[in-house]
Structure 1
Amino acid sequence: MSEAVAIVVGSFVLVTATAFVVAHYRREQMRRKLLGRLAYHRDAYGLGSARR
C-alpha cells in the first residue's frame, strides 16, 4: 500500500514540476518578446540607448 502512495505522490510531484517549468518558459518568452518590442520602439522614436 505504501508503494502505491509513493508512486501517486511521486507522479504528482513530477507533473507539478513540469507545469512550473512550462510556466517559467512561457514567462521568459513573453519577457523576451516585450523587451524586443521596447527596443524597437526606442529605436523608432530616436531615443537612443537606455544607458546613461
Structure 2
Amino acid sequence: MEVPMSEAVAIVVGSFVLVTATGFVAVHYHREQMHRKLLRRLDYHRDWWDWGSARR
C-alpha cells in the first residue's frame, strides 16, 4: 500500500507540530514550577524578616 505524497507530507508536518507543541508544554510546565518555587522562597524570607523584626 503506497501513501500519496500529499498524505505523507501531512503526516510529517502533523507529527512535527505535535512534537513541537509537546516541547512547549514541557517548557511552560517547568517554568511554572520554578516560578512557584521562587515565590515560596520569597514568602519564607519575607515571613522570617517580619518575625525577626517583631521580636525586637
In the superposition, the TM-score normalised over structure 2's length comes to: 0.81
The percent of aligned pairs where both chains have the same amino acid is: 77
More helix by share: 2
Structure 2 unaligned runs (5+)?
A: 52-56
Aligned-partner Cα distance in 2 for 1:22–1:40: 27
Matched length: 47
Name stretches of at least 5 consecutive residues in structure 1 with no aligned partner.
48-52
Larger Rg: 2
Highest RCO, 1 vs 2 (Cα 8 Å, sep ≥ 6)? 1
Q: TM-score, normalised by structure 1?
A: 0.87
- Give the structure 2 partner of residue 33 of structure 1: 37
Question: Which residue of 7, 17, 22 maps to 2:21?
Answer: 17
1:3 maps onto 2:25 in alignment: no
